Amino acid sequence: MLSKYFKPAIIKKIAAGAGTPVYIYSKAAFLKQIRSYKKAFRAADPLFCYAMKANSSAGLCALAAAEGFGADVVSGGELYRALRAGFPPGRIIFSGVGKTPEEMAYALKTGILFINAESFEEVLALERVAARLKVRAAFSLRINPDVDPHTHKFISTGKLGGKFGVSFEEAQKIYMCAAESRHLNPVGAHFHIGSQVHSAGPYALAAGRLAAFILKLASRGVNLKYADVGGGWGVKEGAEMADLAPLARAVAGVFQGTGLKLILEPGRSIAAPAGILVTRVLYRKRGGHKNFIVVDAAMNDLVRPALYGAKHPVALIGPAGGPEGVYDIVGPVCESGDFLAEAVRLREPAPGQLIAIYSAGAYGFSMSSQYNSRPRAAEALITGPAAWRLIRRRETYQDLISSEI
């Protein structure tokens, strides 16, 4: 259980020192997932590019960089953060369905490993930027392998008909064309089939298709160096990451002996179990047949329950609470979709009591907003049995208006 990383005493200490709502991360849990990846894939020796979109806070990214991870970024802003957090440019790749010429120029000037392009027009735009800068742009193509990852439709990205990547046929045309260009250097092929993928089967299928395609391309004179199989390994809410051995077997086996450098882009499976959101009970109320607990965190802090129907386990911290009941835990935002948990069985908490929401380390803070003009939460990192530090201060009302003119 994740509670071993988040003991009540330190949660209370952090809530008292940093206020609530507050994201609390465990350095030990974060490093544990990172090292599990390194161990499971030791034989294949891949480049791991931590998907910063899961959680781009510098305090966590610096830990990943120090472990030898690279970064997968999806915007100029994430590239900026990656460099500041200490990821070497040679271990950064830039993904995303619509990079602007400005973002491409930034990436090329920085000297990142390669850009993952997603359409012919994007590759042509990259060529123009590279020509202007008088460089040769290393790029990889995101290919849509048409594999069903069996996950939520908002995070399923590997089926044809979605906006992501190009078909194998289209990819072949793009590579053949790029091979003729003085300003393009095709170095890799990529897929990312989705997020919260809980079985290795879809990866095996997609990796097999990618490997066959790369071989075919080589027979036509285009020799790639990198096979990038994206991220997406699932992690159950409330649990640590599942065993990686099936994933390693499914993916590494396919590319063994091909001479290709394998790349993985894990995000959620590393960050999700390593973070909780801690909120304080404001009020209790009854509405019709339902019992509500109104807390000081809201959908602007953690949108996953509203957006994906994600079910994060919750636990009272501190006093045991009153009689057991069934509650919706809701925030102060003016939306009916503003809930953090629905129909959970809990001992009744008193106003002022802390509640921990587990598995909130990924797509929690990074998807948070200032909706309803709510300053974003603070973030703290547990660094030892009784030690912690703030890695992001709570925003102020001044922060809400600081960019307005």
Nearest to ligand PLP of 202, 230 (CB atom): 230
Q: Based on the number of CB atoms within 10 Å of its own CB, is 44 exposed (0-12), middle (13-18) or buried (19 or more)?
A: middle
- For residue 186, how many other CB atoms are within 10 A of its CB? 26
Interface positions with ligand PLP (CB under 6 A): 51, 53-54, 72, 95, 192, 195, 230-232, 265-269
Q: Minimum distance between the CB of residue 377 and ligand PLP, rounded to whole angstroms? A: 20
Q: Round to whole Å and give the CA distance between 164 and 191.
A: 9
Q: Shortest distance, CB of residue 190 to ligand PLP, whole angstroms?
A: 8
Q: Which is nearer to ligand PLP, 10 or 52 (CB)?
A: 52
Residue 95 or 172 with smaller CB distance to ligand PLP: 95
**Nearest-angstrom CA–CA distance, 387 and 108:** 40
Does residue 11 contact residue 19 with C-beta atoms inside 8 Å? Answer: no
Other CB atoms within 10 A of residue 289 CB: 5
Residue nearer to ligand PLP on the CB measure, 149 or 331: 149
Instruction: Give the largest CA-CA distance in the chain.
Output: 72
Q: Is 334 a catalytic residue?
A: yes
Show the DSSP H helices in 19-119 as ranges: 27-40, 58-66, 76-85, 101-110
Tell me, what amino acid is at 76?
G
Rounded CA-CA distance 290/242 in Å is 35
CA dist 239 and 234 (Å) reads 11
Q: Least distance to ligand PLP from the beta carbon of 110, Å? A: 19
For ligand PLP, the closer CB: 269 or 300: 269
Annotated catalytic residue, options 49, 61, 177, 334? 334
CB 244, CB 233: distance < 8 Å: yes
Please choose, from the candidates 182, 259, 181, 183, the residue with its C-alpha nearest in 3D space to the C-alpha of residue 223.
Answer: 259
Supply the minimum distance, in Å, between the C-beta of residue 231 and ligand PLP.
3
| Smallest gap from residue 72 Cβ to ligand PLP (A) | 5
State the catalytic residues.
334
